[in-house]
Amino acid sequence: MQLQNGQTLEEYYSNTEKQAKELLKNNDNRKLVVILTGAGISAESGLGVFRGSGGLWEGYDISKVASIRGWNTDPAQVIEFYNLRRQKLLDAEPNPAHKALVELEKYFRVAIITQNVDNLHERAGSSCIIHLHGELIKVRGIAYPYYVYEIGGEPIAIGDVCEKGSQLRPHIVWFGEEVPLISIASQITCVADIFVVVGTSFNVYPAAGLISVTKDSIPKYVVDKDMPDLPGGYYNLKTIEKPASIGVPEVVADIIANYA
């Protein structure tokens, strides 16, 4: 298989940054709500939480399937793992937490910064999504210029190539690789009027550090059914120790009632 008519990686990142920067213009004077989401919001849609017991992810060693070293060592195993995850995503549906966040767009400018590689925010209807760690439904070539393609739930294999003839790989930011969109994520977080964190352990950097660049005075919410150890010294921080499907609709209602 040789894919055609992809967009370059530079175009992919540029389009995401352009969308985010539109929110920074503040043409309509609505408050800016920035939401950081992690695996906990998608777990209730049936998608596995990244950090399982003993460093395993649905039976796979994380270091072997989610790192650039793992790819260089055994690309076939990495491809197999993401093919399985892509197939599982086809059966998943956005849950009430994903859907509740869409409601905010009626009253606020909203940016979702997600550590998740699924497309449940898009399918729920959210407009501006920054995928820090890539997208499961996309693949790209491994040789420059890197071309990105959307393949939905289709599998890839060793020997499948981009339009320039280089092997396809998952469009995922692995351990050992830079996070290109962290800069625009930081820029938009710096000027947020309200900041919400949903279902993240605060263990994966640089995303975990975004809360540290928020303005001291703004309202901050953290929703997680197993509340992680939170960084100290933050004002106006409210914790909701509930599953995302319950806690997020409560937070959305609170934000609309108090800040719209």
* Res 209: pLDDT: 84
Mean pLDDT by groups of 10 residues along the chain of 260 residues: 94 94 83 95 83 56 90 96 93 96 97 96 97 97 96 97 98 95 96 95 76 91 85 80 96 96
State how many domains the chain has.
Answer: 1
Predicted pLDDT at 57: 61
What pLDDT shows up at residue 53? Answer: 45
In a domain, 1, yes or no: no
Q: How high is the pLDDT of residue 49? A: 63
Query: Has this prediction a pTM greater than 0.85?
Result: yes
The pLDDT score that the predictor gives to residue 123 is 97
CA distances to 38, 114, 206, 229, 231 from 43, rounded to whole Å, are: 9, 14, 22, 20, 24
**Block residue for tokens 């298989």:** 1
Instruction: Evaluate whether residue 59 is within a structural domain.
Output: yes
Residue 3's pLDDT is 93
What was the pLDDT predicted at 197?
96
Strands (E), 115-248: 129-131, 134-141, 147-150, 168-172, 194-198, 220-223, 237-240
Q: Can you give the pLDDT at residue 92?
A: 94
**Residues known to be catalytic:** 133
Does a structural domain hold residue 67? yes
In a domain, 80, yes or no: yes
Q: For residues 170 and 65, give the distance between their C-alpha atoms in angstroms, rounded to a whole number.
A: 11
pLDDT at residue 201 in the model: 75
Q: Which domain holds residue 43?
A: 7-259
**At 184, which amino acid appears?**
I
CATH label of the domain that carries residue 155: 3.40.50.1220
pLDDT of residue 54: 47
Determine the pLDDT at residue 60: 78
